[in-house]
Structure 1
Amino acid sequence: MDLKLQGLRAVVTGGTKGIGRAIVQGLVGEGVAVAFCARSQDGVDVALKELRHGGASVHGEAVDVADKAGLPKFVGRAASALGGIDIVVANVSALAIGGDEASWQAGFDTDMMGTVRLVEAAMPYLEASDAAAIVTIASVSGREIDFAAGPYGAFKAAIIHYTQGLAFRLAPKTIRANTVSPGNTYFEGGFWHQIETGNPTLYADALALNPTGRMATPEEIANGVLFLASPAASFVTGTNLVVDGALTRGVQL
């Protein structure tokens, strides 16, 4: 299938590791010019070097999406570097699972408002695009109660609701908005790699819940994102694509 992404322009938050990095690499592989951000300048520099070595058109910056002023400025610079924006992918999470107030604030600032501010900053560019698409990254923790119930699960559920609201409001402007909800995703240095080494019992329990007997790879999640971001999904908007290997058992109505 031709995703028809060639020549489009995308902004991705959290683009140096795991799912975000796989999304950036997948978009680049489809001929998309990509601007991405992450908090670590070192991580950004490494990603830029590797991506540009392959001839990709990429722009990267160290930006904290919880920075109320900094995120919109990054989006503006990204639009200038790319010549516009057709696709935005909101990928960053604080991974806040504690029950204390600081965890709730971190989840709100990063997961929720990092998504909202990205979309709002990109909206003038999306309105000018002929292939505008918004993809937000939620989680299966937004669909059911698990060990991440609390800030993480609550804000992921809110992101799904927010995105479906965007889809309804923006449909007359032909701007699509969809969510991808990954299940447990394993990559070197990631959350589940840390759990595997730091809490092997929890890791084994989590692995046993999935009937496939494994966790997802970042590339498997990114594939869903690329489809939803692409003109090939031109009539898909307002959906929450669950990519979890049948981990969750609730029926999505």
Structure 2
Amino acid sequence: MDLQLKGKKAVVTGASRGIGRAIAELLAEEGADVAICARNPDQIQEAVGALQGRGVKAWGQSVDIADGPALKAFVQAAGEQLGGIDVLVSNASALTTASRDEDWQALLNVDVLGATRSFEAAKPFLVRAAQAHGDAAFVIISSVSAAEASSVSAYGAMKAALIHLAKGIARENAARKIRANVVSPGTVFFEGGVWGNVKAQSPQFFETMLKRNPTGRMASPEEVAAAAVFLASPRSGFTTGINMLVDGAISSRANY
């Protein structure tokens, strides 16, 4: 299937590795020019080089997502470097699982305000893209933890806030032909990631978590990226305001 992304301009936050990197690579594979950011400048430089190797225009910058002015400046610069923004993906996360005051604040600053600020900065570009091409897309990466609660979880609560945010953006911008959707992964494995580290440090717990999933495994970043890129594409042009679970059926709730 041609996702009709060739020549589109995409911005992905938190894209130096893991899910964000896989999203950026799949967008590039589909022919989209890509701008990325993350905190580590060396990882950004390596990722940009790899993306350029796919034959598209790629640009990146080291950014602390919690720094609102810096994030907005990056999005503005990305739009200028690429010549527009058709797709915005908010992937960055503070990834803290405790529930101290500082954990709530970190998740608010990076996950929630990171999404709202990046959309605010990208909106003028998205409006122009939608007017010119009939479609522009905002995709937020949340988590299955948004809907699964066995104890107090700052991470789960803030990820749930992203789903509510996306629905509001979708409703408010539907007439402008700007879509907003969420992808909520379950457990995702890659070396150096959360579950990669768990496997190295607590192999028995890792095996227990594998058995919790009916598939008997965890997702790859590429499998999550496939869902995100489809939702970002014009092929998904009438889909907006949804939360797509990519969890291998680890959650038990029915989504109506």
Query: What TM-score range do you get, normalising by the shorter chain?
Result: over 0.9
Residue type at the aligned position of 2:47: A
Residue aligning to 1:106 = 106
Uncovered stretches (5+) of structure 1, i.e. residues with no partner: none
- Map Cα deviations across residues 56-93 of structure 1 (whole Å, 9 max, x no partner): 21011101111111000001110110001010000011
Q: 1:216 to 1:146 in 2, by over 3 A?
A: farther
Residue aligning to 2:72 = 72
Uncovered stretches (5+) of structure 2, i.e. residues with no partner: none
- Map Cα deviations across residues 203-253 of structure 1 (whole Å, 9 max, x no partner): 122111101000000000000001100000010001111011111111122
> Is 2:89 the counterpart of 1:84?
no
Residue aligning to 1:238 = 241
1:99 and 1:55 mapped to 2: Cα distance? 43
Shift, 1:102, TM fit? 0.8
Residue aligning to 1:203 = 206
Residue aligning to 1:225 = 228
> Is 2:147 the counterpart of 1:143?
yes
User: Residue 169 of structure 1 is aligned with which of 157, 168, 172?
Assistant: 172
1:207 and 1:19 mapped to 2: Cα distance? 19
3-state DSSP of counterpart to 1:246: coil
Residue aligning to 1:250 = 253
Q: 1:107 to 1:181 in 2, by over 3 A?
A: same
2:186 and 2:114 mapped to 1: Cα distance? 21
Structure 1 residues 44-53 or 183-192, which shifts more?
A: 44-53
Q: How many residues align?
A: 252
Residue aligning to 2:16 = 16
1:66 and 1:118 mapped to 2: Cα distance? 11
**Identical amino acids, percent of aligned pairs:** 46
Shift, 1:200, TM fit? 2.2
2:7 and 2:169 mapped to 1: Cα distance? 25
8 Å Cα contact 2:71/2:118 also seen in 1: yes
Shift, 1:177, TM fit? 0.4
Residue aligning to 1:34 = 34
1:244 and 1:169 mapped to 2: Cα distance? 28
3-state DSSP of counterpart to 1:129: helix
2:126 and 2:53 mapped to 1: Cα distance? 29
2:26 and 2:53 mapped to 1: Cα distance? 15
Shift, 1:53, TM fit? 2.8
8 Å Cα contact 2:29/2:54 also seen in 1: no
Residue aligning to 2:120 = 120
Shift, 1:199, TM fit? 2.1
3-state DSSP of counterpart to 1:128: helix
8 Å Cα contact 2:9/2:82 also seen in 1: yes
RMSD of equivalent CA atoms: 1.1
Shift, 1:54, TM fit? 3.2
Residue type at the aligned position of 2:94: A
TM-score (norm 2): 0.96
2:113 and 2:193 mapped to 1: Cα distance? 23
Shift, 1:146, TM fit? 5.1
Shift, 1:168, TM fit? 0.8
